[in-house]
Structure 1
């Protein structure tokens, strides 16, 4: 997750947040309005009723809008997608007891992927604690506060109205700091209803949450410049936290004549046809990227990566060695590379900007081009061949039925517009998308006179054309995340790539996209199995058990929800589907794609890790 932007955005002109905050619930809403939150995601319940009353009043005056999920985990996944797309904090709400426990999986996902969330859960009234109150979840009941302690950056029970304001501000500040992540407040019903005993403090959150001056470790930057002076053609590895600095990183690549690879969660920040791109390293990755690192380049610069299992190819020593320089603003990430030659701490955009300045000053390498190098806009005709990195290019072009998953990725790449956000679910969906998805950037076809317009279309620093979840990776995450992304960018097409197993877990959230009239295409890879389990068991020589799923017509499920759907049984069926019309319509569409279940996804990284486990 790349860094948050300034918290401030436009808010309703008639909002007078603090004088009008008559109770504690209204204070929470007032602060969310102050920092520019537009949507919150959740499910109402008795223990959070005052908060929903305040949300209703805010919505009537043009403030916050509440999006009702179908399951609390879906609400957290939506808030996650919203935060990744906007660069602002995602907010999710659940009632006490099972509402809170249902939300834990989504919160844990955000925690492990460093996505900032504000999580608010309810409690029965304080006087009822310890008496067996319905859904009590304090220390005298099912202790949800204790459960959230392990997957949040800040976690607290608000036991008195006078605590609320300071704890709310602390929660927001913890969510925004590095490493980013969820902050949780558990608030009893009577506290939410409490009138304010005094005028609220009205902290200036726009100031408190804004990024401070970009501090750069000058000594490390100078030392890195020294290393680069002695290095011929370094290799760059772009991670999921590098999005904000991608322009500067690619400018450095041009200046240093470097080739670059990405981690699975970093692929969405680059053009996969860029002439310097050598593929993805890690889960679902490419042999070319692995070979490049195993060729023992003199120096590997790793930008913004946690170096977890999936984005380090199972902690591969081809990257985790003394030739690596790890650049990151998160100390937790840097702690995973003690063997690195050098750590460069700091916000990546500031670090890379300073490194470019130092290189210019020293004039150690060739001059930069006169025109700026746009990260998604390499100059034609030097564009890499689309098939050159693929493990199975024949399957990518195959006309066989059932549909090869590789061919499905080709169709999605070619038929979706350049500004599409793809969200790939955990399992085979991630592997297929990371390896084979390579959308055409139509800006490459524009004349130079249109470059200014093209630059305006570039995605924001916190955005990415491909979203996947690393480390803590639950099935069904992409379904909710796609809705959160689409709600954040109502006019931006979103494609959710998910499996039939994931859809059977969380597919009911498609009705939220319908209710909100969001242009999301849900692509279900239908192979009647938990595909990653099935292939993993086969590749490991293990017993074949537990992966079978029933034959389901997901088109008919969608129709029962008044959502249009199509069955794709063979490649020629794609000609019967108008992608542009689907992405223009105000509402979701479902594609039930009957894929070839025998096609083996690129799971070598995962299998290697499992085989070596003791």
Structure 2
């Protein structure tokens, strides 16, 4: 039986009450690096851990801690928590917090402060208003940001912060905690709020707009859905709508992992490193409605704001209202919870025979909605026309296209892929296509788990961070996801530049005995910088990296390290042993350094920005 936090006649202290709220929310891990002024929180977490509650995970750098909390939040579809001491500990968190802010990832960020009476006396690592003001720094990249100056403030400020973190737009929130306040007694024996009930999100709907959409769909002949990363919890009804109507489906880069690549109606990725078929589908004049769902319409999602998407055929469905400011040309804007909107659309589709296509009926007749493997391969080859035959070439050094093919083929159902900023994410978006994700297998797994055969609402098989795109994010995020769920292997696709920035976090996977496979695209360069300079005919400068043996480095860390130079080396891997290993593996893959990644859309945007401004 779980014990209660220790208390006196004056009740719980602030740190223990805070941790009790984390327990209430089901938070299992807090990622961070300790220090003197944050010690009361660590004491409270240690006590919680002893009774089976919240446990601290020691990162090697605070940026890595924030990335881990990000990955944990994505995998649990809940709250990630990270912490640091004051001063440089807090400033080290900033990059990871800013990335979460830009990608709408809910984090609770806790930083320490020296005791209140020392403010203004220049205590060690002071970061209050009289020192290096960390609150001012976090103001620009959090949804809520406050310093706790009295124990009675904990509950109202924590509740306000979590409401902002978990409401739309989601994002990180920050509480700065002076050490003496954390040790203060609250007078409470237990939390006053039931946060699970309080933080439940309502099924908000714009009924008038949904009625307008129904009228449009009733007259539509050819509908395309564009799904973004914001569709995570709604994929079951979205796919049901697609299967009922025969609508074609396209993904943004961060939406790719939400769709089975073998699905009959899937036409590939549109946007950064996207596919020819997806672009051609949107340009098809017979398409009369494009429903863009859960996408913020940033540069990556729109292929540099292409008018093949951003036109009057588009209907924008979103939970985050600020995203509508980027689509003034849309025929219709529908705000509300995407899950509720598509449940309502399914009800309408059932009552509208015109929308239930014969194609969808035929696909559903055997209970399946995926293409045969040969048809999937044909679609993939069509989308990889920029790289004819290279998806299968056996040459040495291994081509990145072939590496992505082998990663998708070799690793088992349920593997979660994280792709890092740089060439890694470009190759993964364009060329990574797992072949063995079948709806029948998913149904069998979920039925065995006792959830009635429903699709698990998770963050998908491919996860990435876009827009802010910090190097090394995937290394920490993969560790956070593995902490959240140890039942399936996690694969981090990263570059040698990112590993040199954040590779020390591999030792966290060693210490926690996590089954994470770190795939390092080793080309001895900052690859995206190098190839972008060449494509733009810029000066060739500041991209070269030393030749590093990451397999040897991994073994020094206590991980398994394997060097890959050819497809034959990939074929010799004992995947079953790697996927069941009690600890991480680093695959140091020496790729062909001259292969140009699919970044032409990004180059086009950069060159368009080089044009002289028309402003006076």
How high is the TM-score relative to the length of structure 2? 0.93
CA distance in 1, matches of 2:466, 2:89: 25
CA-CA distance at 1:44 after TM superposition: 0.6
Distance 1:285 1:118 in 2: 33
Q: 1:372 to 1:328 in 2, by over 3 A?
A: farther
1:437-476 equivalence runs, <5 A: 437-443=432-438, 452=447, 460-476=456-472
Which residue of structure 2 aligns with residue 436 of structure 1?
A: 431
1:75-154 matches, within 5 Å, as 75-154=65-144
Matches for 1:360-399 after TM superposition, within 5 Å: 360-366=350-356, 369=361, 378=370, 380=372, 383-385=375-377, 386-390=380-384, 391-399=386-394
- The aligned residue for residue 206 of structure 1 is 196
- The 5 Å alignment of 1:52-67 reads 52-67=42-57
Aligned ranges for residues 251-400 of structure 1 at < 5 Å?
A: 251-296=240-285, 297-366=287-356, 369=361, 378=370, 380=372, 383-385=375-377, 386-390=380-384, 391-400=386-395
* Structure 1 residue aligned with 2:60: 70
**2:109 aligned counterpart, secondary structure:** strand
CA contact (8 A) 2:363 2:369 kept: no
* Distance across 2 between alignment mates of 1:16 and 1:373: 56
Does the 8 A contact of 1:271 with 1:375 survive in 2? no
Tell me the secondary structure at the aligned position of residue 230 of structure 2.
coil
* Matched residue, 2:479: 483
Aligned residue for 1:8?
A: none
Aligned residue for 2:466, secondary structure, equals: coil
Give 1:52 shift: 0.2
Task: Report the Cα distance in structure 1 between the residues aligned to 2:122 and 2:157, rounded to whole angstroms.
Answer: 27
Deviation at 1:277, TM superposition (A): 1.1
Distance in 2 between residues matched to 1:199 and 1:578, nearest whole Å: 53
Superimposed CA distance per residue, residues 425-448 of structure 1 (whole angstroms, 9 cap, x where no aligned partner): 001000000000001225368699
What's the CA shift for 1:113? 0.4
What's the offset of the Cα at 1:15? 3.3
Displacement, 1:166?
1.1
Aligned counterparts of 1:219 and 1:466: Cα–Cα separation in 2: 35
Hey, what does 1:239 align to over in structure 2? Answer: 228
Residues 363-401 of structure 1 show CA distances to partners (whole Å, capped at 9, x for unaligned) of: 332377499799995265794334232131411101111
Q: Give distance in 1, aligned partners of 2:605 and 2:569.
A: 38
Distance in 1 separating the partners of 2:99 and 2:190: 33
Residues 1:537 and 2:533 are matched in the alignment: yes
- Residue by residue over 1:293-339, the C-alpha shift from the partner in whole angstroms, topping out at 9 and shown as x without a partner, is 12242110001001111111111111111110001111122222121
- Conserved? CA contact 1:72–1:99, under 8 Å: yes
Root mean square deviation, CA, Å: 2.3
* 8 Å CA contact 1:155, 1:185 repeated in 2: yes
The answer (yes or no) to whether the contact 2:148–2:177 under 8 Å persists in 1 is yes
CA distance in 1, matches of 2:473, 2:112: 24
Matches within 5 A, 1:156-195: 156-195=146-185
Partners of 1:253 and 1:259 within 8 A in 2: yes
Structure-1 residue corresponding to 2:558: 562
- Give the deviation of 1:202 after TM superposition: 1.1
1:222–1:358 Cα contact (<8 Å) kept: no
Q: Deviations over 1:199-243 (max 9, x none)?
A: 56611111111122x132222111111111221111110111112
Deviation at 1:88, TM superposition (A): 1.1
CA gap 1:587/1:393 in 2 versus in 1, 3 angstroms: farther
Match of 2:237 in 1: 248
List gaps (5 residues or longer) in structure 2: 611-616
CA distance in structure 1 between the partners assigned to 2:521 and 2:354 by the alignment: 51
Q: Give me the whole-angstrom Cα distance separating, in 2, the residues matched to 1:545 and 1:409.
A: 28
Flag the 1:446–1:187 CA change in 2: closer, same or farther, 3 A.
Answer: closer
Structure 2 counterpart of 1:6:
none
- Structure 1 distance, partners of 2:361, 2:249, is 19
CA contact 1:271–1:441 (8 Å) conserved in 2: no
Equivalent in 516, 519, 524 of residue 515 of structure 2:
519
Shift of residue 497, structure 1, vs aligned partner: 0.1
Q: What does 1:571-582 correspond to in 2, within 5 Å?
A: 571-582=567-578
Aligned residue for 1:364, secondary structure, equals helix
Equivalent residues of 1:422, 1:497 under 8 A apart: yes
